[in-house]
Chains A and B, each alone.
Chain A
Amino acid sequence: MDKVVFDIKNLSFSFTKKKILNSLSLKIYEHDFLSVIGPNGSGKTTLLKCLIGINTPPQKTVLFNNIPIEQLNRKELAQQISYVPQISEHLFSFTVKEFLYLARYPHLSRFTSTTANDKKEVETALELTSTKHLANRELNTLSGGERQMIFIAAAIAQGGKIILLDEPTTFLDPKHEEDIYKILIKIHSQLNKTIVVVTHNINNAILFSNKIAVIKEGKLFYYGSADTIVQEKTLENVYEKKFTFITHPDNNKKIVLPEVIKQ
């Protein structure tokens, strides 16, 4: 049995009066590639933000390596967990290199500048994501796909064993989407990283991850392997719509077909 990295116990979380997460329990194991899916507003992003302390979860509801995250120092947490937020329209006047060095922040001490090790980690991240040619470009001159790749490079440079991604491919074309997943699969299998991806793309979840968690109305609705989710009526019940499946000729996995809308 793999080691549990995140143990989420009866986590409830509200914004003002609206309850977003409603006593959700979930275990995330080391080396998992977990996809988190669910309808809009079901609490996926909120959950992700609870895991890294952007949202402050109630005490002892989120354990990281068996320690409640509120007891962990922010820098220690950031050394182990990287986070790729949803693509924002916000532009920054940083070069790619500057941006990647900022990702090394949790490893810096107040009175020293960047070390040879920081340089090595940044170079490795650029190499892994094949973005060396972008190193001196301004972030705000990059295309959406390039920018997302740089954010993933930053997550790698940050050095954590766990990478949380919030809809990393939502606004990307099929080619860039595939590129992003290729990198994620590579760092998952070669660098043994634990990957947690929030996504709306059910097929990506089925094809690329080994576990799927479905969240509905702030609760864990389904948790299991990618193969079993298509066997029952799970998706129908979650999204309250009909689903048609087809078998992918390359690996015989059942994937979702878009519905034809009759006039």
Chain B
Amino acid sequence: MTKKTIIILFTLGSIGIVLFAPFFGMEKISLNTILQFNPNNVQNNIFWRIRVPRVLIAFIAGSALAIGGMVFQAMFRNYLATPFTLGVSSGAAFGAALYIKTGLLFSLFGIDGQTFFAFFGALLSIFFVYVLSMLKKGLSVGIMLLAGVAINFFFSGFILFIQFISDFTHSFQIIRWLMGGFEIIGYNDIYNILPFTVIGTIIIIFLSTELNLLTLGEDIAISRGVNLLKTKRILFFATSLMISGVISIVGPIGFVGMMVPHISRLVLNSSDHRNLVFFNIVFGGAFLVFCDTLSRTLIAPAEIPVGVITALLGGPFFIWLLINNKTQNNTL
């Protein structure tokens, strides 16, 4: 198979997954029923009010997580460096756990309080990462990853503590949030994260040539005329918005941000971010839609949290890819 056919197959497959995903589920739904848009029909409502928004949000989340991972991998020139490995998810989780424990119930501009807390938790840890990476002397990627591990442990410690002093219900709620998922998604959630992800994505698309130069190394990027500080700040800002917004709503879904950009790079066999961005959007979105479809159909009527699916699916696949990757480009 040529490179072109593989790319076309992946793209068509991705589009197919997104189009067909809403038809899968407990309730069999035919094309005829949904095209009548009859608001009194149960199947029609299941399709348009539950499944479609769920597929949409899974797609948006998958794309955002994938692009976020791609940007961090390019900035740190290491595919282990993603918002997740650097501690962002644990920051968000800490925020969410704190909200659940305090028993506060509030919402602002129609956005749930838990979302706010998770959002600021994620921002907090991204800020840590940012400060560390901007230190005058500049830390190596290895040190940054270690710092990410430390941040993860730090927040995990907090979360464990919160769980320890919580009652059973709160504790279960926290664990469930940590698994990630799309159970109670409506169009409202889409409106909530769409601005974040659209703005973030547009910024990143505009900076894709800069991302290419950053993968060549900071020295080369500077010598080619990139304003490094400004570019990195904007990229951090764009990614923080996207990732924090997404995580705050769907929970910390692991692996997508590391795996999808890596697979994209292998499929395109290129580090050219002008193409990678679009491939990540399509493939990342479709990948999470696929995982979510599995999560709600495998043991229906019960649901497996989607974070469990991505991890179980992603882990072995990722290792298989690493072993089979003959070109050995372990770096970007």
Main secondary structure of the interface of A (DSSP, over half): mixed
Q: Determine whether the beta carbon of B137 is less than 8 Å from that of A16.
A: yes
Which residues of A lie under 8 Å from residue B227 when comparing CB positions? 74
Segment of B14-22, B48-56, B163-171, B266-274 in the binding face = B266-274
Which residues of B lie under 8 Å from residue A158 when comparing CB positions? 224
A197 at the interface (CB under 8 A from B): no
B-facing residues in A73-87 (Cβ within 8 Å): 74-79, 81-83, 85
Contact mask for chain A residues 185-215; partner B; CB cutoff 8 A; 1 contact, 0 none: 0000000000000000000000000000000
Contact mask for chain A residues 48-85; partner B; CB cutoff 8 A; 1 contact, 0 none: 01001110000000000000000000111111011101
Inter-chain residue pair count (beta carbon < 8 A) = 75
If A92-B215, A93-B265, A93-B270 touch, whether A53 touches B222 (CB-CB below 8 Å) is yes
If A16-B137, A94-B212 touch, whether A78 touches B271 (CB-CB below 8 Å) is no
User: CA–CA, A90 to B219, complex, Å?
Assistant: 13
Segment of A25-33, A97-105, A125-133, A247-255 in the binding face = A97-105
Q: How far is the CB of A125 from chain B (nearest CB, A)?
A: 14
B320 at the interface (CB under 8 A from A): no
If A102-B212, A105-B213, A106-B225 touch, whether A94 touches B270 (CB-CB below 8 Å) is yes
Identify B271's interface contact among A85, A88, A92, A103, CB under 8 A. A92
- Range of interface residues on chain B? 20 to 34
Q: Determine whether the beta carbon of B332 is less than 8 Å from that of A74.
A: no
Which residues of A lie under 8 Å from residue B224 when comparing CB positions? 78, 102-103, 105-106, 158
Contact mask for chain B residues 252-274; partner A; CB cutoff 8 A; 1 contact, 0 none: 00000000000001000111100
B206 at the interface (CB under 8 A from A): yes
Q: Determine whether the beta carbon of B329 is less than 8 Å from that of A98.
A: no
Contact mask for chain B residues 193-230; partner A; CB cutoff 8 A; 1 contact, 0 none: 00000000000001001001101111110111111000
Q: How far is the CB of A207 from chain B (nearest CB, A)?
A: 27
Q: Determine whether the beta carbon of B137 is less than 8 Å from that of A74.
A: no
B77 at the interface (CB under 8 A from A): yes
User: CA–CA, A230 to B137, complex, Å?
Assistant: 39
Q: Determine whether the beta carbon of B77 is less than 8 Å from that of A90.
A: yes
Which residues of A lie under 8 Å from residue B329 when comparing CB positions? 91, 93, 140
Q: How far is the CB of A126 from chain B (nearest CB, A)?
A: 18
Q: How far is the CB of B3 from chain A (nearest CB, A)?
A: 12
B36 at the interface (CB under 8 A from A): no
Q: Determine whether the beta carbon of B137 is less than 8 Å from that of A105.
A: no
A-facing residues in B310-332 (Cβ within 8 Å): 327, 329, 331-332
If A77-B225, A110-B206, A158-B224 touch, whether A140 touches B213 (CB-CB below 8 Å) is no
Contact mask for chain B residues 85-118; partner A; CB cutoff 8 A; 1 contact, 0 none: 0000000000000000000000000000000000
Contact mask for chain B residues 63-101; partner A; CB cutoff 8 A; 1 contact, 0 none: 000000000000001000000000000000000000000
- Which of A52, A74, A81, A140 has most B Cβ within 10 Å? A74
B-facing residues in A156-170 (Cβ within 8 Å): 158
Which residues of B lie under 8 Å from residue A77 when comparing CB positions? 225
Q: Determine whether the beta carbon of A92 is less than 8 Å from that of B223.
A: no
Q: Determine whether the beta carbon of A82 is less than 8 Å from that of B223.
A: yes
Q: Determine whether the beta carbon of A54 is less than 8 Å from that of B222.
A: yes
Which residues of A lie under 8 Å from residue B216 when comparing CB positions? 92, 94, 99, 102
List 13 A-B residue pairs with CB atoms under 8 Å apart, sorted by A's residue number: A15-B137, A16-B137, A52-B223, A53-B222, A75-B225, A76-B225, A77-B225, A82-B223, A85-B219, A90-B217, A91-B331, A94-B271, A105-B226
User: CA–CA, A131 to B157, complex, Å?
Assistant: 56
Q: Determine whether the beta carbon of B222 is less than 8 Å from that of A102.
A: no
Q: Determine whether the beta carbon of A105 is less than 8 Å from that of B270.
A: no
Q: How far is the CB of A157 from chain B (nearest CB, A)?
A: 11
Q: Determine whether the beta carbon of A79 is less than 8 Å from that of B225.
A: yes
If A49-B219, A88-B217 touch, whether A93 touches B269 (CB-CB below 8 Å) is yes
User: CA–CA, A102 to B152, complex, Å?
Assistant: 36
Specify the chain A residue showing the minimal Cβ separation from B268.
A93
Closest 6 CB pairs of A and B: A78-B225, A106-B225, A83-B223, A75-B225, A93-B271, A105-B224
Q: Determine whether the beta carbon of B217 is less than 8 Å from that of A105.
A: no
User: CA–CA, A108 to B213, complex, Å?
Assistant: 13
Q: Determine whether the beta carbon of B332 is less than 8 Å from that of A93.
A: yes
User: CA–CA, A76 to B225, complex, Å?
Assistant: 7
Specify the chain B residue showing the minimal Cβ separation from A90.
B331
Which residues of A lie under 8 Å from residue B213 when comparing CB positions? 102, 105
- Which of B218, B223, B226 has most A Cβ within 10 Å? B223
Contact mask for chain B residues 279-311; partner A; CB cutoff 8 A; 1 contact, 0 none: 000000000000000000000000000000000
Which residues of B lie under 8 Å from residue A90 when comparing CB positions? 77, 217, 331
Q: How far is the CB of A175 from chain B (nearest CB, A)?
A: 26
Which residues of A lie under 8 Å from residue B226 when comparing CB positions? 74, 105
User: CA–CA, A55 to B160, complex, Å?
Assistant: 44
User: CA–CA, A91 to B137, complex, Å?
Assistant: 24
Q: Determine whether the beta carbon of B209 is less than 8 Å from that of A102.
A: yes
User: CA–CA, A79 to B223, complex, Å?
Assistant: 10
Which residues of A lie under 8 Å from residue B212 when comparing CB positions? 94, 98, 102
Q: Determine whether the beta carbon of B225 is less than 8 Å from that of A74.
A: yes
Contact mask for chain A residues 98-126; partner B; CB cutoff 8 A; 1 contact, 0 none: 11001101101010000000000000000
Specify the chain B residue showing the minimal Cβ separation from A99.
B216
Q: How far is the CB of A71 from chain B (nearest CB, A)?
A: 14
User: CA–CA, A71 to B37, complex, Å?
Assistant: 63
